[in-house]
Structure 1
Amino acid sequence: MNEPKYRRVLLKISGEALAGDAHRGLNFDVIGSVCDVVKQCVEAGVQVGIVVGGGNFWRGIKDGGDRMERTRADQMGMLATVINCLALADSLEQRGVEVRVQTAIEMTRIAEPYIRGRAIRHLEKGRVVIFGCGTGNPFFSTDTGAVLRAAEINADAILLAKNVDGVYSDDPAKNPDAVKFDEITYDEVLARHLMVMDSTATSLSMDNHIPIILFALKDPENILRVVMGEKIGTVVKEDK
C-alpha cells in the first residue's frame, strides 16, 4: 500500500448517510461498511477523528420548526448525534479498533467530556476519536462542529462524506445541466451560496486553512481513496 496523503483527518458523516435508504434510524450494514474502511485507514497509519450528525433521528430547527424554542430543538439534535456516536463506537470495537467517544456536553456515564489534549493523545495512540454533540452550543451545525474539532486537533483535511458525490454548480437532482467541480475555492463556495457546508463552517475552514474534500459515502471505500490521495469528489481549498 502507498503512503497516505493525510496523516490526521477529521471525517464528517451525516446522520442520514448512516440510515441508508430508510433515511431514518440506523442501518448497521452501512455502519459496518464505514467502520471496515475506517479500520483500514487506521491500519495504514492514519489518525482518524469522526464527527457525525444526528439527522437520522432529529434535525433541530428543521424538525422543531416553529413548534419549539430553537435552543431546545438544537439540544435535542445534539443528543441525537450521541446515539450515532455510540453505534459507530460499538461497530468499530467489534472490528478490533480502539475508540473513544468524547462529547461537548458532559455525560460521563457513557462518554468522555471533550478535552483537546486528551483527544490528541488518543489519536497519537492510534485510537479513533468520535466527537459528539457538535460544538455543544445551539445555533451551530454539526458541520461547524466538525471544522472546529478539525482545527483544534490540527487535522490535515476534513473529509465530508455525504449523499452527493461532489460540489455542483446547482442541485443535480433538480438541474440535469449542473456542473460538478473537481476543485473550488472557499470564496467561490461562499459567493455562489453552494451547498457544501453552511456558511459559518465554510468560513471557519477557510480561516484555518483546512482543505475540505466532499465525496459520496455510498461507496465507503471512497474514504480510504481520499486518504491515500486519489482524486475523488470535490476539493474545496484556498487556491485552485
Structure 2
Amino acid sequence: MVTVLSVGGSIVAPDNPDPDFLNRFAALVREWLAEDASRKLILVVGGGGPARSYQQAYRAISPAASDEQADWIGIMATRLNAQLLKAVFADLCLTDVVYDPTAVEVFTGKILVAAGWKPGFSTDNDAVLLAERFNAPTVINLSNIAKVYTDDPRVNPEAKPIDEISWKEFRQIVGDEWVPGKNVPFDPVASLHAQKAGLSVVCAAGRDIENLRAILDGKPFTGTKIAG
C-alpha cells in the first residue's frame, strides 16, 4: 500500500530548513510505517523559501526574466530539500531522489523521495504522476494552510474555509495557468491532471502532526478534500 505526500517546501524550509518540524515529522513517519509492514510512503518535496528567494533575485536582476529559468531555479531548491529528506530517512529510503516521476518502475525500501522534474508545473504535479504510477487514490498535500478558502483570506476578509469541493469548483479558484512561485493550495496543472485521473487530494496544514496522523489513519481531520 503506497501513500503519497506532497510536502510543501514552506514547511520543510520556510526560510531555512526547520529541524524542529523535521524531527517531529520523521518521528511520525517512522512510527506509522512501523505499525504495518505493507505501508510505503512517497514524499514529493517543494522548494519553499529558498526557491522564492532565488526566483525573486533572478527577476530583480533580469527585467526580461523567463518563467522557464525561474522554474529551473525553483526545481533546484526542491532537489536540495529532497536530498535533505532522503538523508533524514537514509535507512528507509534506499532509492536515489527521483527527478523524473515517469521513469520510476519500482522502489525498494519503505520511502521514496521525489523532487522537481521540469518547468511548467510544481512538484504537486509530480505527486499526481507518482500517485497514478503506484495506484494511490489520494494525494495528501501538506502546506502552511489548514484549509482551502473561497478566496485569499489575506486580502479578502469574506473568504470562507471549505471542507469539501469538486475539482471543477476548485479549478475555478486556482485557474488553469502555472506561474513559477505561484502561491495556490494545489498547482493548477496538477489539479487538471488529478481531475482527469480520478484522484482526490487532501489539503491540510503540514505542521499539525496529530492532524496528519489522523489523515494517514483515515480518521476525521481538519482540512479540505478535493474530488469528483
Aligned to 2:125: 144
- SS of the aligned residue for 2:106 comes to helix
1:100 to 71, 82, 95: 95
- Percent identity over the alignment? 25
Select which of 8, 14, 20 maps to 1:14.
8
1:115-150 CA-to-partner distances (Å, cap 9, x unmatched) read: 42133xx2xxx5100012x2x221221122221222
State the partner residue of 1:109.
none
Aligned equivalent of 2:18, options 24, 27, 39: 27
Equivalent position of 1:77 in the other structure: 74
Q: Which residue of the partner structure matches residue 235 of structure 1?
A: 225
In structure 2, what residue type is equivalent to 1:54?
G
Is the counterpart of residue 128 in structure 1 residue 111 in structure 2?
Answer: yes
Question: Structure 1: which 5+ runs fail to align?
Answer: 1-6, 106-112
Structure 2 gap segments, 5+ residues each: 176-183
Secondary structure of the corresponding residue to residue 118 of structure 1: coil
Instruction: Rate the CA distance shift 1:42–1:75 in 2: closer, same or farther, 3 A.
Output: same
User: Which of the residues 209, 217, 220 maps onto 2:206?
Assistant: 217
Aligned residue-pair number? 213
On the 8 A contact 1:52/1:142 being kept in 2, the answer is yes
The alpha-carbon distance between structure 1 residues 101 and 187, as it changes in their structure 2 partners (threshold 3 A), is same
Q: Distance in 2 between matches of 1:47 and 1:142?
A: 19
TM-score (normalizing by structure 2): 0.83
**Counterpart in the other structure of 1:206:** 195
- Work out whether residues 100 and 127 of structure 1, in 8 Å CA contact, stay in contact via their aligned partners in 2: no
- CA, structure 1 residues 231+64, in 2 after alignment: closer, same or farther (shift >3 Å)? farther
Q: CA deviation at 1:62?
A: 5.2
4+ aligned runs moved over 4 Å, structure 1: 60-63
Specify the code of the residue in structure 1 equivalent to 2:42: G
> If the length of structure 1 is used for normalisation, what is the TM-score?
0.79
Q: Equivalents in 2 of 1:69, 1:173: separation in Å?
A: 28
* CA displacement at 1:158 relative to structure 2: 0.3
Contact persistence 1:74–1:138 (CA under 8 A): yes
Amino acid at match of 1:236: I
